[in-house]
Each structure stands twice: as structure tokens, then as C-alpha cells.
Chain A
């Protein structure tokens, strides 16, 4: 078995209005960051797990995203899966 950590990023779909992103963008503009064109606010989810292989881990995490972690009507997701070499490296 391989111990892995999946780092999942969930973001509002481009077609979905994101008032949080608009408000953060306005805040950045107030601070002088006028180069900012767009801000989208999403979520970061870390999943620690064991899997037979990296391939299986990716398949399982993809299924988790589809079934619960993201709502496909309003959100997109992407993730990275990394192998964890020592148990105590889990944060």
C-alpha cells in the first residue's frame, strides 16, 4: 500500500457569479493592486489516504470529488496526488 495525500482545489465555475471574488478584487484594488483582472474564491481540501497505487489513488479521489467534494452544477475541481514517504510527514 502507498500512503498518499491528495490536494483538491474546488472553484466556482466561470458561469457562476462569485460575489466573494468580486469583493476581494475590489479590496485588492483599494490596496493599489490595480493590475488584478479577476479573482475567484474557492476551497482547498486535503485528503490523506492509502491506496494500492498512484493510479488507484487518483481514480478514488476523482470519484470523491464527483460524489461529494464538489457540486458539479456550480463548481469545478482539480487535484494533485503525492506520495507520503513517512507517516509523520502528515501535517
Chain B
């Protein structure tokens, strides 16, 4: 399994993702510059957190025009694994690869804290190493992570089981108090219909070693690394 980590001007989580892939999981790592029009044979492309292009105009609005994004769109169409984390999730929404949008946190505050996530799908390449209804502890770090979609889109997402992660309390209860940013339905991460494009606001790369206070994020990286044989990119 070869992971590609995209680097835009203003990306800040690329090295954290790279460290987990290379040093913790021991998978192949390839950084992809935003001007690259070639994914260099990667099986899973990560759009990491940060402030790509300064988040000018709207978060992710300019990043979607980068040459690498054209390739990522075609890669996703072929069934390739695309994983947007934080700013990467915002970029995937702006690019139309995932429905909805991320808006200013309801508190207007930048929130950098641990959250609990209820894992609602374990049949995905990204979550196969999680247990059914498992609660994982993953930090967030964003000012604009409040998930919004119009009611019809939201109910389609719910009906087709596209909500992968939901903010919950330590006991797994999805309650308003556990919602750090005002996301509709406590949504922290969603998948596209086909199951190969994941967007999530929390940062699994920041909790992949116990020295960092938790290692639940490693399950997601290991899931992807272990999915190599099951992914068929046509």
C-alpha cells in the first residue's frame, strides 16, 4: 500500500501524516506537491489538514483548482481511496467530491481539543479495524468544522449510511454537549456513496502513538494499509 500525502502551500499536517505512514505503520510514503499532475502510483491519497492557499475566499475554495486535484477527481472516479482530514475534508466538499460544506464553528472559537467519535461504518477500507459501534478518541483542531448540508442531502446521507463518524460522549451517546462545533446531526466524517472518498474533521494522525496521549487514530491508518488487497483500482 502506497500512501500519497498532498502538500499545498499552507498545509500543516503533511509531516504528521507522513510520520504515521512511514514510521509507525511502515507503509510506503510519497509526498505529492499541489502542482503535480501525477499521483505517482499511490493507492490512497491523503489531503491533510492546514490552511491550503491561506483558506482565501472560503476554506478549500482555491485548493480545488490545483493541478493535483484534477488527478484526484479522476482517481476517485476510478475507485481510488481519497482521505480528506480537516482542511482536506473542506477541500473535498468544495471540489464536489463530497456533499455539503463546513462552516464557521457555532462558538466562533477555534477548537483544539479531544473529541469522542462513534464509528458508524466498519465495512470501509478506512475503518475495517474498528469494532462495530466503537468509540474512538481523536483530537480536533479547526475554526470552520461545522458540517452543513441542506435537509434533503442530509436525509439522503443518513438513509444511505454515509455518516462514518459522529461526535459523541465517552459512553458513545450522540448528544448536543459532545458536539464541538455545531455540526448538523453531530457529523464529524462522511463517505461518498461508493465508499472510497472519506472526509473527516478530526485528526487521526495526531493520535497514532500512545506518547501523544492516544493511539486510536492508528486504527484508521492500519485499516487503509491492510485494505490493499481488497481495493481494485480499475
Number of interface residues of B (CB under 8 A): 18
- B182 lies within 8 A of A71 (CB): no
A68 interfacial by beta-carbon distance below 8 Å:
yes
- A73 lies within 8 A of B61 (CB): no
Number of interface residues of A (CB under 8 A): 12
Contact of B148 among A16, A23, A68 (CB under 8 A): A16
A48 to B109, CA, bound (A): 34
A20 surroundings in chain B (CB, below 8 A): 104, 108
B112 interfacial by beta-carbon distance below 8 Å:
no
- A68 lies within 8 A of B57 (CB): yes
B148 surroundings in chain A (CB, below 8 A): 16-17, 73-74
B149 interfacial by beta-carbon distance below 8 Å:
yes
B107 interfacial by beta-carbon distance below 8 Å:
yes
CB distance from B16 to the nearest CB of A (A): 28
Residue ranges of A at the interface with B (Cβ–Cβ < 8 Å): 12, 15-17, 19-20, 23, 68-69, 71, 73-74
Instruction: Give me 10 A-to-B residue pairs in the complex whose CB atoms sit less than 8 angstroms apart, sorted by A's number.
Output: A15-B150, A16-B148, A19-B106, A71-B58, A71-B94, A73-B93, A73-B148, A73-B149, A73-B150, A74-B103
Residue ranges of B at the interface with A (Cβ–Cβ < 8 Å): 57-58, 61, 93-94, 100-101, 103-108, 146, 148-150, 182
